[in-house]
Chain A
């Protein structure tokens, strides 16, 4: 729906070029020796592990991009690198709102990276314990994100926090309770509220519904979809679950052994998969 001819390649909000993450020592042959064609991501020469390699894509404003693949295929590695949770081995990324997308964000100082994290990006992790601080109240967790963006007014912070909790369907009366006392679905919704607290232009969702039961999954997916409609945030959705991908995303990358094996409109990929791995994925969809 957002992917049309008006989105010329110049419109991107996020551009990733040749993103690569390798664990261990590697040589120039490492990348050629691994990948879906070789059927492995462990280099036979050096024993280094190629988590992801040669990942290039663009993300357009308001677009939802899906990344799908089996476990260990490098899906989470990509978003974790983009969110600076992980160092990159090679590659570049550009964000339009940061210096008009002219500089490689991986080469910036830690201070700049922190600025981008706090002001331009949001991340929702699979496990709420990664994204939330369980010793602070849920309101406090949202406040942390606002304080990072230099909002030092308790009244305004609380107003914004209750707005967000309203939006994510967490009872505002429980704003000052610890997230530890919440159900898994509620924790996940608090995490989403925290991630979008500063209206970031970019949101990364890493297996957000994987730990939840089916009815809660549906509500969280619903929430993400309505937020996307309402705020028009560009998102990357990482999931091993094709039904999540089908429900949320416009465009999809299929990953295997750390490489993109197929890319295209989500409908197209699901209706008419080209790569044999994608065919396997789609045919095994329940």
Chain B
């Protein structure tokens, strides 16, 4: 019998076949060329269901090579089930190196957080996006939202912010706060907390977004202007942790988790980014993102 080498292995390098990877890369190039614009793509079948991180996986698998070092985080943690499984899967199909260390990684796939540590121009951050369409909450038809993007018709989006302010005295979007990219497209930054939004602006690294279920890719290239939507008199602000401290490190200029203790009543705060917390505990040197919101917090702390 003639041995068929092609089908000897049960899957291609990085699981997805080369033609599809090429397609995804082409779409990614388009996404980088038009910052904030949602590019439709094939969203091929994966061994996990669409909507469970497939968009991020597609992007990571399409751009990863053997020399890459992968870090995988889920809500700031390297060790959660989702992060572990996806990291194992990518390692299994690509043989790439993996790490917990933010600085060592070349590709970071993330679910709903940006690392506290500053990223460099050698790094790519890949987001898993559940809902890529920021206008979906005001307009349910895709053909209409596309037209709205095409014509920069964003009054309805602004109106939801106005209505939120009128109803509750503040703009209440906690995660997935809509941003304006490059003065042109309103973009969903994926459900990252407000804390991370300013770090999208004028970054050194490349941010790629993949929404597997909705079949959309988009990107924020390095040094792109990304601004949260805000009124002239009602400004965007990030979460305030000035009156709490991390229970294990004592640090408080980072995004915090609020943990209920075993008694079910008392609660403590912990730094959300697990690798960042580890480094704080080991007293390693860390360089955080800097943005005007963080700087304000730091200034206020110094004055105290």
Contacts and interface: CB of A to CB of B under 8 A. Distances in A.
A114 interface: yes
B143 interface: no
Contacts, number: 45
Interface of A: 110-111, 114, 118, 136-137, 139-140, 143-145, 147-148, 152-155, 157-158, 176
Contacts of B144: none
B232 A137 contact: no
B166 interface: yes
B166 A137 contact: yes
B166 A114 contact: no
Contacts of A154: 162, 165, 231-234
A153 B234 CA distance: 8
B260 interface: no
Interface in B143-164: 147, 150-153, 155-156, 158-159, 162-163
Contacts of A158: 166
Interface of B: 147, 150-153, 155-156, 158-159, 162-163, 165-167, 231-234
B233 A144 contact: no
A152 B234 CA distance: 9
Given A114-B153, A137-B166, A140-B166, A147 B234 contact: no
B166 A176 contact: yes
A191 B155 CA distance: 17
A137 B165 CA distance: 12
Q: Which of A111, A140, A147 has the most CB of B within 10 A?
A: A147
Nearest to B171: A154
Given A111-B151, A144-B155, A144-B156, A153 B232 contact: yes
Contacts of A147: 155, 158-159, 162
Contacts of A155: 233
Main secondary structure of the interface of A (DSSP, over half): helix
Contacts of B153: 114
11 contacts: A110-B147, A111-B151, A114-B151, A139-B166, A140-B159, A144-B155, A144-B159, A147-B158, A154-B231, A154-B234, A157-B162
A153 to B, nearest CB: 4
A77 B28 CA distance: 45
B49 to A, nearest CB: 32
Given A154-B231, A154-B234, A148 B165 contact: no
A143 B162 contact: yes
A147 B156 CA distance: 8
B166 A153 contact: no
Contacts of A176: 166-167
A139 to B, nearest CB: 7
Q: Which residue, B150, B156, B163, has most C-beta atoms of chain A within 10 A? A: B163
A114 B152 CA distance: 10
Contacts of B167: 176
